[in-house]
Amino acid sequence: MIDINLLPWRDRKRDLDAQKFNILLITIALASILLTFSWYLAVNQSINAQRIRNTFINHEISLTNASISSINTAQKERETTIEKLRFFINNKIDQYEIIKLLNNIVALKPKDLTITRFAQDNKKFIIEGEAVSNSSITEFLGKLSKNKDLVSPELNELSRPMTENKRPVIIFKIILNTKNTDLKGEDDGRKSK
C-alpha cells in the first residue's frame, strides 16, 4: 500500500484560507475606512452648504430689516409731516376766523370809538377802547349783539379818567363770546380807529 502524507496539503490549505481571511479582513477594513471617510466628507459638505444658506438668509434678513427700518422711518416722517400740515391748516383757518371776526368788529364800530386792545382769554374775547360818549358805546354794544358770529357782549368796565388835554374820554372794556369756540388767538395789542 502506498503511504500518502496529507499533512503538507492541509498546511497549504490552512495557509491559503488564512491568507484569504486576512485579505478579506483587510478589504473589509479598507472599505470601512473608505465608507467612514466618504460619510465624513458628505456630512462636512452638508454642513458647509447649510452654513452658506444660513449666511445668505442672515444677509437677506439684515437687508429686510434695513428696508423695514427705512419704511418705519419714512412712515414716522409722513405722520409728522401730516401732523404739521394739519396744524398749519388749522392755524390758517383759525387765523382767518380771527381776522374775519376783527373785520366784523371794526366794521361795527362807530366813528368816535377807538379800540385800543383786542385779546382772547380762553373762550372769551376782550375788547378795550376809548369813546367820546356813552351813546357810542351803547351803539357799539347794540351792533355787536345783532352780529350773527358773536354771542352776548357784556360791558365789563366803564370809567372816565381825566386826560391831559381835558378832552372827555370814556374808557370801556367789553367781553364777548363767539359762536365758533375753536378760535385760537393772542393779544395783538394793536389800536384800531
pTM above 0.75, yes or no: no
Same domain? For 63 and 121 the reply is: no
CATH of the domain at 186: 3.30.1360.100
Task: Verify that 82 and 150 share a domain, yes or no.
Answer: no
Domain count, the chain: 2
Looking at the structure, tell me whether residues 18 and 104 fall in a common domain: yes
Last residue of a domain, one of 108, 129, 163: 108
pLDDT computed for residue 40 by the predictor: 97
The residue from 51, 74, 108 where one domain ends is 108
Range of the domain at 81: 1-108
Same domain? 103 vs 8: yes
For residue 185, what pLDDT is reported?
Answer: 44
From 91, 108, 125, give the residue that closes a domain.
108
At residue 133, the pLDDT reads 84
Q: How high is the pLDDT of residue 157?
A: 76
pLDDT averages per 10-residue partition of the chain, 193 residues: 70 92 97 97 97 97 96 94 86 74 83 86 82 86 81 78 71 79 45 42
pLDDT at 186 (0 to 100): 43
Same-domain check for residues 104 and 115: no
- DSSP assignment string, the chain: ------HHHHHHHHHHHHHHHHHHHHHHHHHHHHHHHHHHHHHHHHHHHHHHHHHHHHHHHHHHHHHHHHHHHHHHHHHHHHHHHHHHHHHHHHHHHHHHHHHHHHHHS-TTEEEEEEEEETTEEEEEEEESSHHHHHHHHHHHHH-TTEEEEEEEEEE-PPPTT----EEEEEEEEES-TT---------B-
